[in-house]
Amino acid sequence: MSVLLRKLGKVGRITLDRPEALNALTHEMVREIARALDDWEADPAVGAVVLDGAGGRGLCAGGDIRAIRASALGDGGWARGFWRDEYHLNARIARFGKPWVALMDGIVMGGGVGLSAHGDVRIVTERSRVAMPEVGIGFVPDVGGTYLLGRAPGELGTHLALTAAAMTAGDALLCGFADVYVPSARLPELLAAVERDGTDAVRAFAEPAPPAPLAAERGWIDHCYAADTVEEVVERLSGSGEPAAKEAATVLLAHSPHSLKVTLEALRRARRLDSLEAVLEQEWAVSLAALSHPDLAEGVRAQVVDKDRTPRWSPRTLAGVAAEDVARHFEPPAAGPLF
């Protein structure tokens, strides 16, 4: 079993239990969580759900991208089924009838964000590193990530999406991915209190938010990432005179040009959508289109399979990404709607 499910005191406890893979999500893990929610939603003995990760290194590193790559190299059926169930679960967490408490301790990336940051009580620690790093593997932020990123203050979400940078606890609180800061050493005590007294117990463990490094960077971030195109974003970053901005430009140019352009368009469109479900519907279309693009399989190969860190993007430059190729990601998919 890769998910530990149990009822303890007043809560249903979900522990992601693939520590050797930093608790990366498999399709069966998604199904197990969904089945538990079916049971617990109707169970009066369960007053809340608490999510955490085994192994001490993080909550969840994301989806099983090796399996997604294998599916992309085949007929894509596994990835389509996985994403459909995963995105439905993301929406369900956001609308679940009982409080959802997520311990976002350590690494929380991609699919891990989808399981935690749509919840009601999102707890970060000094060890938290929260990210949507999809552009680095030739993909696009999903699991409702563009909904969260698009609603972060100013252009912070655009910066995070295009650089794939990780947020500290302070940054996650600033950007709307988390609610409460609790030192990691106090988590066992917090869990015992929640199991005994319910979610109101969290307040007693909350401490003042640590500094958010991104707050000091808002000036150049808001200016540079407000540009209409990725090319102009890079131009503004390179010419801003801020060392951190120039470093960001270098980071962007190492990512998939195709993914960068689709991601920027997805974020801009997500801001105009009025619900998480509407954004997930858009992400469903975008993900299925990305599945057939060579950059996804190539990005996973370079970063995870061969680990040579030298992806051969197609096309290699931003100028080579055609507008019609970006636009096709937002067309209704042949697999039908998500909802």
Q: Side chain identity at 191, as an amino acid letter?
A: L
Q: Name the catalytic one among 52, 64, 105, 134.
A: 134
- Contacting residues for 36 by C-beta, under 8 A, at least 6 apart: 3, 5, 12, 14
Nearest CA among 338, 318, 183 for reference residue 258: 318
Beta-carbon count within 10 A of 245 CB: 21
Q: Name the catalytic one among 142, 155, 195, 265.
A: 142
- Contacting residues for 71 by C-beta, under 8 A, at least 6 apart: 77, 78, 79, 80, 82, 291
Q: Name the catalytic one among 12, 62, 111, 157.
A: 111
Q: Side chain identity at 60, as an amino acid letter?
A: C
- Assess whether 105 carries a catalytic annotation: no
Tokens of 261: 């352009």
- Assess whether 63 carries a catalytic annotation: yes
Give CA–CA dist 34/171, Å, rounded.
30
Beta strands 11-16; 3-8: pairing state = antiparallel
Give CA–CA dist 20/54, Å, rounded.
10
3-state percent helix, strand, coil for the chain, nearest multiple of 5? 55, 15, 35
- Assess whether 142 carries a catalytic annotation: yes
Tokens of 12: 């249903």
- Contacting residues for 17 by C-beta, under 8 A, at least 6 apart: 1, 2, 3, 4, 23, 54
- Assess whether 111 carries a catalytic annotation: yes
Q: Which helix (H) or strand (E) holds 238?
A: helix 230-239
**For residues 220 and 277, is the Cβ–Cβ distance under 8 A?**
no
Nearest CA among 6, 7, 2 for reference residue 63: 2
- Contacting residues for 147 by C-beta, under 8 A, at least 6 apart: 270, 273, 276, 279, 280
Question: How remote is the C-alpha of 13 from its chain's centroid?
Answer: 21
Q: Name the catalytic one among 58, 62, 63, 110.
A: 63
Give the active site residues. 63, 111, 134, 142
